[in-house]
Chain A
Amino acid sequence: MKRIRNFSIIAHIDHGKSTLADRFIQTCGGLADREMSDQVLDSMDLERERGITIKAQSVSLNYQAKDGETYQLNLIDTPGHVDFSYEVSRSLAACEGALLVVDAAQGVEAQSVANCYTAIEQGLEVLPVVNKIDLPSADAERVCTEIEEIIGIDATDAVRTSAKTGLGVVDVLEAVVSRIPEPEGDPDAPLQALIIDSWFDNYVGVVSLIRIVNGRLGKRDKVRVMSTGRSYPADRIGRFTPKMTDTGLLETGEVGFLVAGIKEIDGAPVGDTLTLESNPCSEPLPGFREVQPRVFAGLFPVSSDDYETFREALQKLKLNDSALHYEPESSGALGFGFRCGFLGMLHMEIVQERLEREYGLELITTAPTVVYELATTDGAVSYVDNPARLPQSSQLDEIREPIILANILVPQNHVGAVIGLCVEKRGVQKRMQYLGGQVSLEYELPMSEVVLDFFDRLKSVSRGYASFDYEFCRYQAAPLTRLDILINGERVDALSVIVHRESAYRRGKDLVERMRELIPRQMFDVAIQAAIGGQIIARTTVKALRKNVTAKCYGGDVSRKRKLLEKQKAGKRRMKQVGSVEIPQEAFLAVLQVEKK
């Protein structure tokens, strides 16, 4: 155990986490040069493209330190976005230390701050690392001051490096060895192993990345997943070097993989504890939580023929994504599809993009919504994730909306604009602190406002400088109501939204106006109305087209006319027929863009 070091890298997107990890692998000889593709750890295409990590991966390296000893360095990668904060906390729970990697030109960003606090709270040794010191705009001194002021850790010994050029990489590894504590734990105690992450592999089923906290795990041991109580024989055990290498045994303090014939990812949930069936521990490790989706949207195939493909695609994605929830939804307007639950907006975008890219699906997505808590007059509490299903207000005692606590870090000169935005979004300021050139803001915000367009707006009012992190706080009663859109008198379920009573009129007006711009003229007038309950609060009309254009064409040749009509028909097919009205796909997302004008 003495020569094991378990650590994570905390960094903002683009601050060079993956590049640094690649350098570690190279320095320790984990892979031959020809096997190094850029950023080995981000193995999904999408991750590589977006520069973010979705699944936590790990690499176990043997490092020959300057003291002459060989150390087992276990680097546990952490997902890099606000939506995945629980996953981050589980990755950190498996470590004794963390490298806080900060871009020498960009400085500290909110996401790093939040993760850093999580690490400190969990008792990790945090080593500041200033990266990209080769950049002309690098200012390591300023960044160190920021680290001290904003995060409050001593940055005197911050290691300076350039992962890109390789400068200082060994210094980082030496710091890991000398300053991160060795793991503690009792090798003779009953097994307690933390599931850091699980993913589905087509050949072997579920693979779990685990950290042995106490005891040891050997091949053919019968392991019990504590939250489900189910047991499985350990088929394969080993370490990622970074290739999957069987060792047959994992000792106290080590990090490695387990394959145990588990068929579904829910069978090995992140944060859960594994123990031995023969000699179980008495208590699971702390911190396990079932992952709850917080943002929901209806996803519908443009062509109803794709429904089965869509269902299979969701099944496959779900294999590897326990946070993704879905259940069949049938919409009057959009036909058959699925109501999908996501951790947050980024998670949703990733899933959408994978469905479209990897499965070739064309989807219509309804505006995302949060989960509301309903207290009905009979005293019962229920949850609704679909505005169309919000019951009549007469049956409701109270509607409660989810409130989040947002941590925003913004340079001083943009703080006014950010506060303005938070106020507009019904935020309540909890804390404001000047830290060097930056201001740290804490706001309680209704999550529905954050889902709408908060992130984009925050970036635009701060010219891209503000960064943001959030956590769920509580449900809070609010004067909410359902705003319906009626097209030619027919309620379009997929366009309903839940809004604040006081902004309902404005939203209704904006929304019908936006619809008027998006819905093309048709053979008849299209009346667009916004309604609350039975009351129409805004209306507008798309005036009927008066005629088609009949150009002169040569009567002998039907092919050109046919092509023209086929093109028009294809255009119609991309729209959704609601009653007799054709509505373009963009209209279903218009709710989101209402305030972007």
Chain B
Amino acid sequence: MLAEPPLGLYVHMPWCLAKCPYCDFNSHGLRGELPHERYTAALIRDLERAAGPLRGRELATVFFGGGTPSLFPAESVARVLTAARRLLATDASLEVTLEANPGGMEIGDLASFRDAGVTRISLGVQSFDARALRVLGRIHGPDEARAAARAVSAAGLERLNLDLMYALPGQSAEEAVADVEAAVVLAPEHISQYQLTLEPNTLFHARPPELPDEDSAAAMQEATAEALAAAGYVRYEVSAWARPGAECRHNLNYWRYGDYLGVGAGAHGKITRTEEGRILRTRNFRHPDAYMQAGDPLEELTEVAPRDRVFEFMLNVLRLADGFDTALFESRTGMPAGVLAPALARADDLGLVEACGNAAWRPTLRGLQFLNDLQILFLPEATDS
């Protein structure tokens, strides 16, 4: 039976000081003044509209993502959070993450963010190597990254995440490990680690830098994983490492196919309507101007068909080292767990998943390494024709 899952709120802040050449997110280089007043007003309108029908549901997490949300004044964050608290039930455990970039011009006033209700800062460090940062088009240097990380602790924020990338142009395995070690020294509770890829509609895609080959990239992943594990971090998701208990609850909710409101330009939301037995997806206008101008910023509302729920659930949950149990599957998708049996058996044969405990499955280490191959097994057969 479809049950009401935990609810998160994602708030998209679509501006950066400069667009990075690898980034394919909905972010825009800032030209002129940041229209924070107009945008914050639009966010609140959007939130009121989106949260209205959910009145009374409990909100567990908020995530300000971007772009560079730390470019906004803390007051904007405070106003959005106040509106969220007004519209939805919250308690003291509310996790509020804000993405920030380490440059002096973009880090923002961390203490004010803390006062506004932010509990967690996610810093887009990417690397501690000056040359690598330049190639990536980052506007900060290694020292600024270190200073920003220390400032987060000094400001009394509970949690810190550092975003790192590996397989950077010209990078060696030693350099990738050095990046991880430099991060570990700063003692963040959480480290996210991604391989640099060349995505369509980016500058790097048009003019690709020379990247390490796939075997070198794999070697870096393995070496850095060893370093992270040695430092006491646990890989709880394919790309996310945390000290036990410090996992990102907002992201965990995505990965467990929970609900979330998507507010802001281009934001996506997913809401379960248990009384109707439906799951809906929402998507807002992508361009900030279109978003701010629209009376109703919702561009698309689609229902997730039952068989697509199965795939979407697996797509997400297989990223998690602890996997899932069938009770979670049934309550989140409304589908009987039996439908998974053939694909799970195939995945088991390939050594990509393993049973763990009663009616529970998790990806093996091999399954995490070959996550795409694993996820593909759960794609529905040829979509409606």
Residues of A whose CB lies within 8 Å of any CB of B are 523, 545-552, 554-558, 561-562, 564-566, 568-569, 572, 580
Name which residue of chain A comes closest to B352, CB basis.
A523
Contacts of B254 in A (CB 8 A): 555-556
In the complex where A552-B194, A566-B379 touch, is A523 in contact with B373 (Cβ < 8 A)? yes
In the complex where A547-B369, A548-B372, A561-B315 touch, is A556 in contact with B269 (Cβ < 8 A)? yes
Minimum Cβ distance to chain B for residue A572 (Å)? 7
Query: Scoring B residues 67 to 90 as 1 if CB is less than 8 Å from chain A, else 0, what string do you get?
Result: 000000000000000000000000
Asked whether B194 lies within 8 Å of A572 as measured between CB atoms, the reply is: no
In the complex where A551-B195, A568-B376 touch, is A556 in contact with B270 (Cβ < 8 A)? yes
Asked whether A555 lies within 8 Å of B255 as measured between CB atoms, the reply is: yes
Contacts of B260 in A (CB 8 A): 556
Minimum Cβ distance to chain A for residue B138 (Å)? 15
Minimum Cβ distance to chain A for residue B184 (Å)? 20
Residue in B214, B239, B251 whose CB lies within 8 Å of A545:
B214
In the complex where A556-B260, A556-B269, A572-B376 touch, is A546 in contact with B194 (Cβ < 8 A)? no
Contacts of A523 in B (CB 8 A): 350, 366, 370, 373
Contacts of B165 in A (CB 8 A): 552
Contacts of A554 in B (CB 8 A): 25, 65, 268
A545 to B350, CA, bound (A): 14
Name which residue of chain B comes closest to A522, CB basis.
B373
A453 to B350, CA, bound (A): 40
A572 to B221, CA, bound (A): 25
Contacts of A566 in B (CB 8 A): 379, 383
Secondary structure type dominating chain A contacts: loop
Minimum Cβ distance to chain B for residue A549 (Å)? 5
In the complex where A545-B214, A558-B312, A562-B311 touch, is A552 in contact with B379 (Cβ < 8 A)? no
- Residue of A547, A548, A565, A572 with highest tally of chain B CB at under 10 A: A547
Query: Scoring B residues 264 to 283 as 1 if CB is less than 8 Å from chain A, else 0, what string do you get?
Result: 00011110000000000001
A572 to B214, CA, bound (A): 19
Contacts of A558 in B (CB 8 A): 312, 315-316
Contacts of A552 in B (CB 8 A): 163, 165, 192, 194, 239
Residue in A548, A557, A561, A562 whose CB lies within 8 Å of B373:
A548
Contacts of A569 in B (CB 8 A): 376, 379
Asked whether A557 lies within 8 Å of B376 as measured between CB atoms, the reply is: no
Contacts of B371 in A (CB 8 A): 548, 550
Query: Scoring B residues 206 to 220 as 1 if CB is less than 8 Å from chain A, else 0, what string do you get?
Result: 000000001101110
B262: Cβ under 8 A from any A Cβ: yes
Asked whether B315 lies within 8 Å of A551 as measured between CB atoms, the reply is: no
Minimum Cβ distance to chain B for residue A546 (Å)? 3
Asked whether A557 lies within 8 Å of B268 as measured between CB atoms, the reply is: yes
Residues of B whose CB lies within 8 Å of any CB of A are 10, 25, 65, 163, 165, 192, 194-195, 197, 199, 214-215, 217-219, 221-222, 238-239, 251, 254-255, 260, 262, 267-270, 283, 311-312, 315-316, 350, 366, 369-373, 375-376, 379, 383
A566 to B376, CA, bound (A): 7
Asked whether A551 lies within 8 Å of B194 as measured between CB atoms, the reply is: yes
Minimum Cβ distance to chain A for residue B122 (Å)? 12
A216 to B307, CA, bound (A): 72
Minimum Cβ distance to chain A for residue B269 (Å)? 7
* Total of A-B residue pairs, C-beta within 8 Å: 82
A569 to B163, CA, bound (A): 30
A556 to B379, CA, bound (A): 18
In the assembled complex, 22 residue pairs joining A and B whose CB atoms fall closer than 8 Å, in A order, are A523-B350, A523-B366, A523-B370, A546-B222, A547-B370, A548-B370, A549-B217, A550-B195, A550-B238, A550-B371, A551-B194, A552-B165, A552-B194, A552-B239, A556-B269, A558-B315, A558-B316, A562-B311, A565-B372, A565-B379, A566-B379, A568-B376
Closest 8 CB pairs of A and B: A546-B218, A556-B268, A555-B254, A547-B369, A551-B197, A552-B194, A548-B372, A557-B268
Minimum Cβ distance to chain A for residue B126 (Å)? 10
Asked whether A565 lies within 8 Å of B369 as measured between CB atoms, the reply is: no
Asked whether B268 lies within 8 Å of A580 as measured between CB atoms, the reply is: no
Minimum Cβ distance to chain A for residue B127 (Å)? 14
Minimum Cβ distance to chain B for residue A362 (Å)? 15
Name which residue of chain B comes closest to A561, CB basis.
B315
In the complex where A556-B10, A562-B311 touch, is A551 in contact with B268 (Cβ < 8 A)? no
Minimum Cβ distance to chain A for residue B271 (Å)? 12
In the complex where A523-B350, A554-B25, A565-B376 touch, is A549 in contact with B270 (Cβ < 8 A)? no
Contacts of B268 in A (CB 8 A): 554, 556-557
A569 to B379, CA, bound (A): 9
Minimum Cβ distance to chain B for residue A575 (Å)? 13
A354 to B25, CA, bound (A): 47
Contacts of A572 in B (CB 8 A): 376
Asked whether A580 lies within 8 Å of B350 as measured between CB atoms, the reply is: yes
Asked whether A546 lies within 8 Å of B372 as measured between CB atoms, the reply is: no
Residue in A556, A564, A565 whose CB lies within 8 Å of B267:
A556
A595 to B260, CA, bound (A): 60
Name which residue of chain A comes closest to B381, CB basis.
A569
Contacts of A548 in B (CB 8 A): 369-373
In the complex where A555-B255, A556-B260 touch, is A547 in contact with B312 (Cβ < 8 A)? no
In the complex where A547-B221, A566-B379, A572-B376 touch, is A555 in contact with B251 (Cβ < 8 A)? yes
Name which residue of chain B comes closest to A555, CB basis.
B254
Residue in A546, A555, A557 whose CB lies within 8 Å of B215:
A546
- Residue of A523, A554, A555, A562 with highest tally of chain B CB at under 10 A: A555
Contacts of A565 in B (CB 8 A): 315, 372, 375-376, 379
A34 to B137, CA, bound (A): 68
| Supplied contacts A523-B366, A545-B370, A566-B383, 11 more A-B pairs, CB within 8 Å | A548-B369, A550-B195, A550-B238, A550-B239, A550-B371, A555-B255, A556-B254, A556-B270, A557-B268, A562-B315, A565-B315
Contacts of A561 in B (CB 8 A): 315
Minimum Cβ distance to chain B for residue A26 (Å)? 49
A565 to B315, CA, bound (A): 10
Minimum Cβ distance to chain B for residue A1 (Å)? 63
Contacts of B369 in A (CB 8 A): 546-548
Name which residue of chain A comes closest to B248, CB basis.
A555
Residue in B10, B194, B218 whose CB lies within 8 Å of A547:
B218
Minimum Cβ distance to chain B for residue A565 (Å)? 5
Minimum Cβ distance to chain B for residue A529 (Å)? 23
A115 to B163, CA, bound (A): 76
A557 to B12, CA, bound (A): 13
Asked whether A546 lies within 8 Å of B315 as measured between CB atoms, the reply is: no
Name which residue of chain B comes closest to A564, CB basis.
B372
